[in-house]
Amino acid sequence: MYKLLIVDDEPQILEGMKRTLDWGKYGFDSIETSETYDGAISKAVEFMPDLAIFDVCIGKHRGYDAIKKLNELRLQSNYIIMSGYGEFQYALEALRCGAKDYLLKPVERSKLQHIVEKIIVEDLHGTIEGAELDDVDKDPVLGVRYDSLSKLTNRILLMVKAEYAQNINLKSVAERFRMNGTYLGQLFLKEAQIKFSEYLMAYRMLRAKERIQSTDEKIVSIALSVGYPNLNYFYSHFHTYFDKSPSDLRRKE
């Protein structure tokens, strides 16, 4: 019923994306792939995909340029962009060109599933058997749907999701928007009902909890992976947020 196009210049990623979801279960009975920019444009025009997933970097080309080109050709499709940590500015450009969302590499199955389900329901007007659609697109910290928030707040949340492992703060975010940090913080607090610093900490804690429960990584490695070079600082925040230590949480699992 639906057609899917996946574009990445690495063949193993193309194969991995084809296996990440049971695409047939979601109604995608035709899947095409491309490893090049020109090939992607040609296949998109010929194949007319309902959903196209682009890597943000396709050789020397950019995925958002492909989306721009297809928009100019008036191709009716829905786009998802894939990007690495250092490529988030490219991902933002893709969002400006109409991409529905982005996936941070390595792609997590649950996040891909949520984005695909949202597109099927909201853009392709399909249905998903057994899916709890009200929870498909809720922010994990705020507990509200992203479409209930302003574009500005959504962009801030996207930055946090992409860069929580790095040295991100309200000042650096405000500089990207060319806004006063205090004013931006007030706008975020008014809508999110939580300070930016509190949101960032909560998001980092949730990501840390996921890794503690699903991997055997050392706590120090997990702390670094969620933006805490100081292990004592990480332990303090974790205990404050969950009322238990990382080790206690792992033992109970």
170: domain CATH number is 1.10.10
Domain-located, residue 131: no
DSSP-derived letter for residue 178 is T
Pair 46, 86 in one domain: yes
Domain-located, residue 219: yes
Residue (of 87, 93, 32) closest to 57 by Cα position: 87
Pair 213, 243 in one domain: yes
Residue (of 213, 107, 112) closest to 222 by Cα position: 213
Pair 208, 106 in one domain: no
**CB atoms inside a 10 Å sphere around CB 79:** 28
Pair 243, 166 in one domain: no
Pair 30, 62 in one domain: yes
Pair 150, 183 in one domain: yes
54: domain CATH number is 3.40.50.2300
Interval 163-189 mean pLDDT: 92
pLDDT digits (tens, 9 = 90+) for 12-39: 999 999 999 999 999 999 999 999 999 9
The percent of residues in the chain predicted with pLDDT above 70, rounded, is 94
> Quick one: pLDDT at residue 31?
96
Domain with 205, as residue range(s), is 198-251
Interval 159-181 mean pLDDT: 90
Domain-located, residue 240: yes
> Quick one: pLDDT at residue 154?
87
Pair 22, 47 in one domain: yes
Cα torsion 89, 67, 97, 3: sign: negative
Interval 157-170 mean pLDDT: 89
Pair 102, 32 in one domain: yes
Q: Is it the case that residue 179 has pLDDT exceeding 70? A: yes
In order of 18, 24, 43, 110, 149, the CA distances from 142 in angstroms are: 32, 32, 40, 19, 10
> Quick one: pLDDT at residue 133?
45
pLDDT digits (tens, 9 = 90+) for 51-67: 999 999 999 999 999 99
pLDDT digits (tens, 9 = 90+) for 92-129: 787 788 888 888 888 888 889 889 998 998 889 888 76
Q: Is it the case that residue 208 has pLDDT exceeding 70? A: yes
Domain-located, residue 51: yes
